[in-house]
Amino acid sequence: MGMDKFNQTVLDIIGHTPIVKLQKVATHVTSDIYVKLEYMNPGGSIKDRIGYYILKKAVESGKLKKGGTIIEGTSGNTGFGLAMFAAIHGYKSIFVLADKQSKEKIDALRAFGSKVIVCPTNVEPDDPQSYYSVSQRLADSIPNSLYINQYHNPDNMETHYITAGPEIFEQTGGDFDVFMAGVGTGGTISGTGKYLKEKMPNIKIVGIDIVGSILGPYKMTGKVVEAKPYVLEGIGEDIFPENVVFDFIDDFVMVEDRESFLMTRKLLTQEAIYAGGSSGAAVVGAIRYAEKLKSPQKILVILPDSGNRYASKIYNDDWMRDNNYLDLSFNVQIKEVLNSLRTVKPDIITIEETCTVEKAVKLMEEKNISQLPIVVDDVVIGVVSEADLLRPVFEGKLALNDNVSVAQKSAHLVVDINEMLEKVARALTHKHTVLVTEKGKIVDILTNIDILHYVSSNSIY
């Protein structure tokens, strides 16, 4: 047979993704949690399955004709599955994404040769600007086009009933108790859940939803709640997709953005699983469900996509920090930090705003300091640093007899010594000067080096 056995495209290797057991992130629960690594599909997500199945079926039925255009509203992953099929078979494609989707997804879809239209996230579903409305409008106006409409297309759910369900049952022999998956369009959980319930009547099918979505609350209360903004991609909805069949879902677990993103990072650092945010959400949901069980069970969870689509967001420290997601253990008072670092309180040198640049430079040289708080009647109005003075003076933009207040640029934050360290952590990362006061008087200047020394000496991580 030789090399003839490799005469196939990437579409032929979709599926048959591995299952592994979590070893470290869920050790406090007695249940075993297993994860199916759908990011190991060739396009990087579980949506490869529907991209191939739906389009293959559309070609066979004549809905998608030669030279046609594939149109879809997507959070990105379905777009990849469809774009692979389009690239191999020569179709055009247009994808409509909400503006909260990662830059990596948008750039990669364009790299496929697809057209990408970005719409605002925080609009109502029936708003003309929503990605649902824009997708439908494009399909109505472009000849020889096919709108996939994964939210309401029954082929989405059918894909997982035909592929993922049987695959999981074959891999496991049915030796597990709970199947869990994040719920967005609903195709994965409804299709896979339907198949597994037919084979395993006692199995529990549990959905994971994000706070702000309307799906989980409706299943649990029977009431339609108002949708609220959330950042997580790929899970949650502000509409009821026809592929969310609540009869196949026994329960829901709600999770939040921050805990999902932190778990996503933990999966990489502790389990070497490089997955996306919806995978972190799924694991948080699985652990939360396991914590409420009265006896140990075997839980199988879908991890939908790859982490390489979130390098600029979830895996980027600056983005995590700027959005207050980074898990910094700064739950201590500033005075505790200073007391652990200083045996003697420093003598804080200040200058009046009427002082000259020349005097400020000399003061910095004499006292061997790099920044000076500027005060008026003992009230800090700014900070001037070496960087604010030296280059402008050298370039002639500042004269030595200019008032120092003309030169102040360094951003600063004034905090009381009894404030929590977490209040200033973000300011320090943005290179702001942090002035610490006690009873209104400046007693110290906190720096990034101080924080590093405190972290290393106290092991607060």
Tens digits of residue pLDDT in 276-331? 999 999 999 999 999 999 999 999 999 999 999 999 999 998 899 888 887 555 66
Residue 460: the pLDDT is: 39
Across the range 60-67, mean pLDDT stands at: 95
Q: Say which of 31, 36, 45, 47 is annotated catalytic.
A: 47
Residue 358 belongs to what domain range?
334-458
Instruction: Quote the percentage of the chain above a pLDDT of 70.
Output: 96
Going by pLDDT thresholds of 50, 70 and 90, the confidence category of residue 236 is very high
Confidence of residue 409 (pLDDT cuts 50, 70, 90): low
Question: What pTM was estimated for this model as a whole?
Answer: 0.74
What pLDDT does 453 receive? 78
What is the mean pLDDT of the segment spanning 374-390?
80
Q: Is 132 helix (H, G, I), strand (E, B) or coil?
A: helix
The Cα 273–Cα 303 span in angstroms is 10
Averaged pLDDT score across all residues of the chain: 90
Candidate list 31, 278, 306, 410, residue with the active-site label: 278
> In residues, how long is the chain?
461
User: Which are the contacts of 83, defined by CB distance < 8 A and separation ≥ 6?
Assistant: 43, 51, 93, 95, 109, 112, 113, 114
Segment 216-227 shows an average pLDDT of 95
pLDDT of residue 205: 98
171: confidence class by pLDDT, cuts 50, 70, 90 = very high
Element (H, E) at 299: strand 298-303
**Looking at 66-75, 263-272, 449-458, which range is the least confident one?**
449-458
Distant-in-sequence, close-in-space partners of 315: CB < 8 Å, separation ≥ 6? 265, 268, 307
Phi, psi dihedral angles at 265 (to 5 degrees): -70, -35
The pLDDT value recorded for residue 410 is 62
- Please indicate, yes or no, if residue 327 is contained in any of the structural domains: no
Q: How far is CA 189 from CA 33, 312, 416, in A?
A: 17, 29, 51
Whether residue 2 lies inside any domain: the answer is: no
Q: Are residues 123 and 75 in the same domain?
A: yes
- Residue 459 pLDDT > 80, yes or no? no
Same-domain pairing of 345 and 428: yes
404 domain-assigned: yes
Task: Decide which of 154, 187, 221 is a domain's last residue.
Answer: 154
Burial class, 242, CB count within 10 angstroms (exposed 0-12 / middle 13-18 / buried 19+): middle
Looking at the structure, tell me whether residues 377 and 275 fall in a common domain. Answer: no
Mean pLDDT of 401-426: 78
Higher pLDDT pick, 290 / 352: 290
| pLDDT(246) > 60 | yes
Going by C-alpha positions, the residue among 286, 267, 288 that lies closest to residue 277 is 267
Q: Which has the closest alpha carbon to 160: 185, 132, 123?
A: 185
> Distance between CA 298 and CA 396 in Å, rounded?
72
Active site includes 278?
Answer: yes
Domain count, the chain: 3
Burial class (CB in 10 A: 0-12, 13-18, 19+), 447: middle
**Residue 144 shares a structural domain with residue 176:** no
The mean pLDDT of 167-172, rounded to a whole number, is 98
72: which strand partners? 95
Residue 328 domain flag: no
Which bin fits 116, alpha (ψ -120 to 50), beta or left (φ > 0)?
Answer: beta
Question: Given 322, 342, 376, which residue is the final one in a domain?
Answer: 322
Residue 69 lies in a domain: yes
pLDDT value at residue 429: 66
227 and 317, same domain (yes or no): yes
Flag whether pLDDT at 168 surpasses 90: yes
Give pLDDT, residue 17: 98
For residues 194-206, average pLDDT: 98
